[in-house]
Amino acid sequence: MSIEVAFHGFLSADAEAHVSKAGKNWTRLRVGVGKDDAVQWLSVAVFGKAAEIAATLKKGDRVYAEGSIKLDTWRGNDSIERHGLSVA
pLDDT(16) > 80: yes
Mean pLDDT, the chain, integer: 92
For range 34-40, the mean pLDDT: 88
DSSP string across the chain: --EEEEEEEEESS--EEEE-TTS-EEEEEEEEESSGGG-EEEEEEEETHHHHHHTT--TT-EEEEEEEEEEEEEE-TTS-EEEEEEE-
**How confident is the model at residue 17, as a pLDDT?**
96
Does the pLDDT value for residue 56 go beyond 90?
yes
pLDDT higher than 90, residue 50: yes
Question: What pTM does this model have?
Answer: 0.80
Q: Report percent pLDDT > 70 for the chain.
A: 99
